[in-house]
Amino acid sequence: MNDSRAALRYAKAVLDLAVDNKATAAVEKNMRSVAATIAGSSELRSVLASPVINGESKKGALNVIFKEGGEITKGLINTLTENKRIGLLNEVALKYIILNEDLKGEGVAYVTTAVPLTPELEKKVLQQLAKITDDKVTIENKIDENIIGGFILRVGDLQYDASVSNKLSNIKREFTNSL
């Protein structure tokens, strides 16, 4: 099974459990903490991806790191460990956040730019997104100097790439195909 599909299934199961326990906000806070911690630690990513370190050691480390996580988060860690899928923890956390935002009728638009968005530009982007989506949308600006200029906009499963690096790549592809 595709890892992304597996992560989505785990995230849906966690969301269902959180809804049943009326704990969606608390679990979302925990999932944001999990995603931020994993994203901020290359050592932790290496440990989770390592086939040499056994699952119980990974589970023990994660339970110490996320000791404030709550029962649902700890249950997710245990389930992923038992199913030998602990490497999916970060992706499950990210998928849970997206699913919970959809449930609340909120969305996050990820805008990747070469430089930070100005408040005026952020306001214009929000106005355009209000026309496209029916949900309340917030913007999360990611900075990636490799795109050179322009932007990449991702809302849910939709992505619009108007970056200079993408346009240069397209020109290069067209040029090499015409030879």
Residue 143's CB: how many other CB atoms inside 10 A? 12
Cα 61 from Cα 47, distance rounded (Å): 9
Contact 88, 80 (CB under 8 A): yes
2: pLDDT confidence band, cut at 50, 70 and 90?
low
* Tokens, residue 160: 């619009």
Residue 62: exposed, middle, or buried by beta-carbon count in 10 A (0-12, 13-18, 19+)?
Answer: buried
Residue extent(s) of CATH 1.10.520.20 domains in the chain: 3-101
Q: Report how far residue 31's alpha carbon sits from residue 7's, in angstroms, rounded to the nearest whole number.
A: 13
Q: What is the pLDDT of residues 97-124, one digit of tens each?
A: 888 877 877 777 888 999 998 889 888 8
The pLDDT confidence band at residue 172, using thresholds 50, 70 and 90, is: very high
For residue 159, the tally of other CB atoms under 10 A from its CB is: 11
Contacts 24+ apart (CB under 8 A), 47-54: 48/86, 48/87, 48/89, 48/90, 49/87
> What are the tens digits of pLDDT across the range 47-80?
888 888 888 888 888 888 888 878 898 899 899 9
pLDDT mean across residues, the chain: 86
CATH of span 3-101: 1.10.520.20
Please give the average per-residue pLDDT across 26-34, as a whole number.
Answer: 90
